[in-house]
Amino acid sequence: MHVVIRKGILSVIHLLLIVYALSIIFPFIWLAVNSLKTNQEFYFDIWKIPDQLHWSNYADALHKNQLGKYFFNSIYVTVAGTAAALIFSAMAAYTVAKFSFRGRSIIFFFAVSTYLIPTAASIAALYRLMVDFQVINTHIGLIILYSSGLGFNFIILYGFFKGISWEYAEAAYLDGAGDWSIFFRIMLPLAKPGLAAVGLVTLINIWNDYFLPYLFLRDQKLYTVSVGLQNMVLRQQYAADWTTLFAALILATLPVLITYLFMQKQLISGFTTGGLKG
């Protein structure tokens, strides 16, 4: 009797999870279908399958609405920002995890306490700092903001480096290797699962980020995809070319979906094998 009840509960849970998954997938399907319509077809019936697939909407989104330029900007900022964030957070995490020095616990405390500070509370000071260093309205300024060595990346990588045996470094020291050589040639390769997981999360966060690019980029030619899409939404209120906007949304979503599909195993294994050590 208990086995039957348990199986029934599991079946209900599975059914609910399937319904939940469909509720997430359905908006993307609806968006994709309507992105291949003409505006007349869209206004006539938003649920109807298009008689003919209008791929020209995607070409219009890339060229007429400058989404191609926004894509290039986002790729540059995302790749450079992710690389900078990984290297600086890995350096900080490795130093705190493996070396004994005065103030190490204070650094770890500040890394954790960054979650307690509301983003809005630091915006005024951050904006002033960007102006003083003359990096506002530049991609370099955004990359600097994304390359912080503390925060989430630091905490995860700290756990990985904490779990790596120091005997590897001792053997390398005996062979004449220096600190930099040990870090780049031994410790970083051993922390690959953590770097892959943290890198994927950072990449997705930077690609999807709207707040910082909107706040610090004034020139339209510097816009990233997220800010460019918002600009397109404002224009469509007057142009009413919604199918082109839908095509732009699909194009903006595809890089994240493809990246996650190919790297989801690294993401899961990275957080489960070493991210919670130490």
Which has the higher per-residue pLDDT, 257 or 267?
Answer: 257
* pLDDT at residue 33, as a whole number: 92
Mean pLDDT calculated for residue range 3-13: 79
Mean pLDDT calculated for residue range 42-70: 88
pLDDT at residue 277 tops 60: no
* pLDDT at residue 236, as a whole number: 75
pLDDT bin (cut points 50, 70, 90) of residue 269 is: low
* pLDDT at residue 2, as a whole number: 67
* pLDDT at residue 233, as a whole number: 84
For residue 58, CA distances in Å to 41, 74, 111, 154, 184 come to 16, 18, 43, 39, 43
Instruction: Tell me the DSSP string of 94-131.
Output: HHHHH---TTHHHHHHHHHHGGGS-HHHHHHHHHHHHH
* pLDDT at residue 150, as a whole number: 76
For residue 148, CA distances in Å to 83, 202, 222, 269 come to 11, 11, 22, 24
Which has the higher per-residue pLDDT, 89 or 239?
Answer: 89
Mean pLDDT calculated for residue range 171-178: 88
The predicted model scores a pTM of 0.85
Neighbours of 186 (CB within 10 A): 16
* Structural domain spans, the chain: 59-273
Structure tokens at 220: 């339209």
Most confident range, picked from 121-125, 265-269, 273-277: 121-125
Mean pLDDT calculated for residue range 29-50: 89
Query: Within a 13 Å sphere around the CA of 240, how many CA atoms are in the beta-carbon half?
Result: 4
What is the spatial distance between Cα 26 and Cα 14, in angstroms, rounded to a whole number?
18
pLDDT bin (cut points 50, 70, 90) of residue 77 is: very high
Which has the higher per-residue pLDDT, 30 or 236?
Answer: 30
- Taken as a whole, the chain contains a residue count of 278
Rg (CA), the chain: 24
* pLDDT at residue 276, as a whole number: 44
CATH superfamily label, 59-273: MetI-like (1.10.3720.10)
Nearest 5°: CA angle at 122, between 117 and 124?
Answer: 165
Query: Within a 13 Å sphere around the CA of 202, how many CA atoms are in the beta-carbon half?
Result: 32
- Digit-coded pLDDT (tens) for 113-144: 777 777 777 788 888 888 898 999 999 999 99
Average pLDDT, the chain: 86
